[in-house]
Structure 1
Amino acid sequence: MTTTTKTFKLFNNDDAVIFGVNDANLELLAEQFQINIHPFGDHVDLQGEKASVNLVAEILKHLVNLLHSGIQIGETDVISAARMAQADKLDYFEDLYNQVLLTDAKGKPIRVRNLGQRKYIQTIKHHDITFGIGPAGTGKTYLAVVMAVSALKKGQVQRLVLTRPAVEAGENLGFLPGDLKEKVDPYLRPIYDALYAIMGRDHTGRLLERGVIEIAPLAYMRGRTLDEAFVILDEAQNTTQEQMKMFLTRLGFNSRMVVNGDITQIDLPRHSRSGLLQAQQLLRHLPHIGFVDFQASDVIRHPVVAEIIKAYAQNTKE
């Protein structure tokens, strides 16, 4: 192994903001690439295996470029850069920031964070039905809601319909206390959270009251045709084959569907087969239907989360 020392110099002291609070971003890069990083004012010394040192220097250069273009650098940006560098795709990193999908409730721009997310967005734009399949933390639900809200704001659809299986093992809600809304809402919380983050709690509440946004358990889709709607099915791995067929055939004119799930997290009873698994086999090559397969490397959470996902996947193989 060839070790080397390289100095990365900043344009000015203000650029040191890319190092993160208490140099947290540098610590993240040091851990990801197994090198030593020592910051000194307007420069950092990188020590370690030559290829890793060069990659980290390239990452820092890209982060400075983004900073100079007016983009705030956070930990998720550093994680994205590290993932893309490890996949030999760092040259495309800055391109991810060229397009703002939407601004959230706090006025912050929403952008894709990796190539997997970019493919997902492009697939949603160009297909009537999109399947996003992969582990938690890849942004499937959040980005689907972003695209739904964007379509609503542009007048491309008249309403949003957001649904998921109410409970993992077949929507057996009767034993839970409260009315139907109180029983179902905890299972739909990730969808509410995404809407609140994107539009704010008050605006979301008003649209829910007017029926422009409908959030309901999957069973409520039966017998309906959803025209001029953006429809999202979350946790689709926990639909039965009958439920999946029922849902997909609700698609109406001028509508778009997104179906998200993680086939490693199926919680159906053993005698039930996942509708998402069957849909993968039957529909993957049909026109107007797109599939995006997310990997553990697409996870935009703490780096340990991606490692946990990989460890469980390896254990399943063994």
Structure 2
Amino acid sequence: MAKRSNIRRISAEFDANDYFEDAGQIADLDLLERKWSPDDKPRRAKKHEKTPKHHNNNEAPNGHTHHTREQRYVKNIIPRTDGQAKLMEAIDRDNLVLALGPAGTGKTYLAIAKAVEALKAGRVGRIVLCRPAVDAGENIGFLPGDMEDKLAPYLRPLYDALADRLPAKSLKSMMAEGLIEIAPVAFMRGRTLNNAFVVIDEAQNCTYMQLKMLLTRLGWNSSMIVTGDPAQSDLLPELSGLATAAERLEEMEDISVIRLAKEDVVRHPLVARMLNTL
């Protein structure tokens, strides 16, 4: 009798503490014959009992598992202004294009979009993006890390534009394979860029001699787009060479100089209005 009372007391305590998932499981147990003890685990469900199935996030209701698919970027670039239409036509026609205009006119985005389009179509073998590492009037000191870490803040706008045109996995693999290269101006001396689509961004922060060096890197079966805003140079006015280079090259054949205006701004409407005031 003492043994039965102890067993009832212990089972009542475990039942009160919700040790079992179902209170009816206690009635199914033969406590004396099975020599049940509090250390025993709750019984497993019987074979004839059905347990609810839990579908994971990748399992469809019909039982088929569909794998996570990579996001597709099937955006067709359509010019939104007359100036952008002229720029896109010039990129398709000439091997060297200089796009000058205020902020928000889509110079960099259109150039990188055309570069990705040419690479996908097989017209070029690689993309080379170049940008001067110049602070916007504020020196934050030495940056930690290796060369790539130090240059990452300056090249961030190029990464953003590429990420908008390519899936993350494709962008990472292309950069690892060398199909897409992002380089600062300081390391372009002596190179010959054959079978490449070259984009030189923020060229207003290049001196005249730097621009001359960059423009003469153009090789066979290559295209080069130079973008910048002469009115927003972080250099002294007499040091920036973009406006001078554009004036001298504008008269040459097979070279297009596209000058965008505030009417071509596709950013926030306030940007175009501020350009008239600032």
TM-score by length of 2: 0.71
Aligned residue in 1 for 2:244: 278
Match status 1:292 vs 2:258 = yes
CA contact (8 A) 1:166 1:187 kept: yes
Q: CA RMSD in A?
A: 1.9
Question: What is the match of residue 206 of structure 1?
Answer: 173
Alignment-mate amino acid for residue 158 of structure 1: G
Distance 1:250 1:116, change over 3 A: same
Structure 1 range deviating more: 124-133 or 174-183? 174-183
The structure number with the bigger radius of gyration is: 2
Residues 79-110 of structure 1, C-alpha deviation per residue, up to 9 Å, x if partnerless?
xxxxxxxxxxxxxxxxxxxxxxxxx9543433
What residue is the counterpart of 1:86 in the other structure? none
Match of 1:124 among 66, 87, 91: 91
Identity among equivalent pairs (%)? 50
Partner residue in 2 for 1:309 = 275
Please report how far the alpha carbon of residue 269 of structure 1 lies from its aligned counterpart in structure 2 after TM superposition.
3.8
**Letter aligned with residue 282 of structure 1:** R
- Cα 1:230–1:173 change in 2 (3 A) is farther
Counterparts of 1:173 and 1:213 in 2: how far apart (Å)?
29
**Residue in structure 2 matched with residue 142 of structure 1 by the alignment:** 109
The question of whether the paired residues in 2 share the 8 Å contact of 1:167 and 1:173 is answered with: no
**1:299 Cα offset (Å):** 0.5
Could you tell me which residue of structure 1 aligns to residue 162 of structure 2? Answer: 195
Aligned length: 207
Relative contact order (alpha carbons < 8 A, sep ≥ 6): 1 or 2 greater? 2
2:74 aligned partner: 107
Using the alignment, how far apart are the partners of 1:269 and 1:282 within structure 2? 20
- Residue matched to 1:243: 210
Letter in 2 for 1:213: I
Instruction: Give the superposition deviation at 1:169.
Output: 7.7
CA contact (8 A) 1:169 1:269 kept: no
Instruction: Give 1:224's match in structure 2, choosing from 180, 191, 194.
Output: 191
- Residues 257 and 124 of structure 1, relative CA distance in 2, 3 Å threshold: same
Q: CA deviation at 1:173?
A: 9.8
Q: Which amino acid aligns with 2:263?
A: S
Question: SS at 2:266's partner residue?
Answer: coil
The alignment's TM-score, normalised by the length of structure 1, stands at 0.62
**Could you tell me which amino acid in structure 2 is paired with residue 183 of structure 1?**
K
Q: Any conservation in 2 of the 1:188–1:215 contact (CA below 8 Å)?
A: yes
CA 118–274 in structure 1, closer or farther in 2 if over 3 Å, else same = same
Distance 1:264 1:134 in 2: 8
Gaps of 5+ in 1: 1-103, 313-318
- SS of 1:116's partner is helix
Provide, for residues 231-259 of structure 1, a one-character-per-residue CA deviation record: whole Å limited to 9, x for no partner.
00000000011100000000000000000
Summarize deviations over 1:187-227 as a string: whole Å, max 9, x none: 11111111111012211110000000000111111110000
Judge conservation of contact 1:105–1:196 (CA < 8 Å) in 2.
no
Q: 1:221 to 1:161 in 2, by over 3 A?
A: same
Distance 2:177 2:254 in 1: 31
Give SS of 2:226's match.
strand
